[in-house]
Amino acid sequence: MFENLTERLSAVFRGLRSRGVLRPDDVKGALREVRVALLEADVQVKVVRELLQRVEERALQEKVLESLSPVAMVVKVLRDEMQALLGAQPVPLDLDGHGVRRILVAGLQGSGKTTTVAKLARRLASQGRVPLVVSTDVRRPAAREQLAILAREIDVEVHDEASQDAVALAKGALRRAEEEGHAVLLVDTAGRLHVDEELMEELRRIKEALKPREVLYVADAMTGQDAVRAAAAFHEAVGVTGIVLTKMDGDARGGAALSIRHATGVPVKFIGTGERVDALEPFRPEGMVSRILGMGDVLSLVEKAEAVVDKEEAERMRRKVVKAELNFEDMLDQLRKVRKMGPLTSLLELLPGGQKLAGLPELDEKEMKHVEALVLSMTPEERRSPGLLNPSRKKRIARGAGRPLDEVNRLVNQFKQMKKMLRRLQTKGRRGGNPFAGLAPARR
């Protein structure tokens, strides 16, 4: 996500740092390069012009140019203005009040709308809000079947009936949601190849019948300014309350993300970062700007970790780390937790400077799968007691995993080195100070 834009902006800032003292001409030259980078990322021309005008006005102030770290101040000004462009604070779904909260989901065909409905349903269910989903696409039976398949995958109920009237389907789903006590009704509307007036009228009638709390527009981030124009048209026709940007894990240049709120006045509420039903993140303007500027988004990383790590399990693992008692079963467990958090390259992008690491061959997803295969080829006893791994056992493990013997030896050696490091830290802690203080639970 934003790899090209991030690299271009990083190069601009490196050029500024090499100058030491900044003069007004240096700042103006750097901002011209930033302008080109943003335009190449398909950011709307009007947005770029207004953004950089504000940045230049602030960056050329004396207190910026004469500060102890003028380059850092210029970067801060750019970060602040980009964040203001995207919205000062995250805007969550409006789920307050009583009764069934109705959420209408609209978008162009192929934007990932139906998958987004399933992702939202899964997210709401994990928060204890029991959702009901329904597709009102009476023209494409395959779309309704796709939603039914995804609903079964995430164990969420789906409403379906023989009616060929979209409004009747929506009303029937609402009645069922009220009767069965569902907290949220998610309505997947018909997809459109373009802004079609007939389907827009159908969408307006569904909205009038349901009076939804939220009308979410799903935009394909890879279509750039086309997504911005379509979002503006939908907002004008039916009134959109929030935007979901999908396919942010692909080759999106970033233009849609940086332009869509300015063009519509509607906040981005979620971003889709993959095909999996758990690949949906709340949109955080500050985190998004930090990612674009190569500073990472640690808060999003923490949220991903909290979603897969149980507190009691984390405490048990902390005690084993402190005592240097880790084994291959622990490694397998942690490896699977990391994979649940999403692709490794996506996780690295959330760390400051992590985009530079994401392309390293040793961090390939295949390597993680190979390690998992090797550990699974061990017997439970071998996983719990790595000291049992003699040459003959290692050969059997390599054959079982279909990997070379040297990969087994490398894995075992790396594990031994990690155990030695933990023991040294433990010994150092006994002599003075506690190197594991950061791992210990806070005392009341």
- Of 235 and 63, the structure prediction assigns the larger pLDDT to 235
The domains of the chain are located at 3-86, 101-295, 303-439
Return the SS3 of 311. helix
Rounded-to-integer distance, Cα 298 and Cα 157, Å: 34
Decide if 136 contacts 165 (C-beta within 8 A).
no
Residue 140: is it exposed, middle or buried by C-beta count within 10 angstroms (0-12/13-18/19+)? Answer: middle
**pLDDT score recorded for residue 334:** 72
Question: If pLDDT is split at 50, 70 and 90, which confidence band does 307 have?
Answer: low
CA dist., res. 347 & res. 335, Å (int): 13
Residue 371 has pLDDT above 90, yes or no: no
Q: What is the mean pLDDT of residues 139-149?
A: 90
Helix (H) or strand (E) segment spanning residue 245:
strand 242-246
Question: Are 269 and 283 contacting, i.e. CB atoms less than 8 angstroms apart?
Answer: yes
Fold of 101-295: Rossmann fold (3.40.50)
Q: Specify the CATH superfamily of domain 303-439.
A: Signal recognition particle, SRP54 subunit, M-domain (1.10.260.30)
Q: Per-residue pLDDT tens for 170-224?
A: 999 999 999 999 999 999 998 877 777 888 899 999 999 999 999 999 998 887 7
Q: What is the pLDDT of residue 310?
A: 62
Name the least confident of 66-80, 217-231, 372-386. 66-80
Give the residue among 177, 248, 171, 241 at the shortest CA–CA distance from 209.
Answer: 171
How far apart are the C-alpha atoms of 70 and 59, rounded to whole Å? 9
Tokens of 316: 């048990």
Token readout for 240 is: 């959109």
Rounded Cα distance, 39 and 44, in Å: 7
Q: Which residue has the tokens 């050969």?
A: 395
Give the E-state strand segments of 36-168 in sequence order.
101-107, 131-135, 157-159
Query: Angle at CA 143, nearest 5°, toward 142 and 149?
Result: 85
Q: What percent of the chain has pLDDT over 90?
A: 27
Fold match flag (3-86 vs 101-295): no
**To which residue do tokens 């004469």 refer?**
66
What tokens appear for 400 in the block? Answer: 């079982």
Q: How many CB atoms lie within 10 A of CB 291?
A: 25
Q: Are 242 and 271 in contact (CB under 8 A)?
A: no
Categorize the per-residue pLDDT at 121 as very low, low, confident or very high, splitting at 50, 70 and 90: very high
pLDDT tier at 425, thresholds 50, 70, 90: low
Parallel, antiparallel or unpaired: strands 268-272 and 280-282: antiparallel
16 close to 30: Cβ distance less than 8 angstroms: yes
Inform me whether the pLDDT recorded for 153 exceeds 60.
yes
| Per-residue model confidence (pLDDT) at position 250 | 61
Per-residue pLDDT at 346: 57
CB 5 within 8 A of CB 38: yes
Q: Report pLDDT digits (tens) over 278-291.
A: 888 888 888 788 77
Q: What is the CA radius of gyration of the chain?
A: 26
Q: Is the pLDDT of residue 136 over 70?
A: yes
pTM: 0.67
User: 3-86 falls under which CATH superfamily?
Assistant: SRP54, nucleotide-binding domain (1.20.120.140)
Q: How confident is the model at residue 442 (pLDDT cuts 50, 70, 90)?
A: very low
For residues 293 and 306, the answer to whether their CB atoms sit within 8 Å is no
Phi, psi (degrees; rounded to nearest 5) at 101: -85, 125
Tokens for 435, please give them. Answer: 């190197």
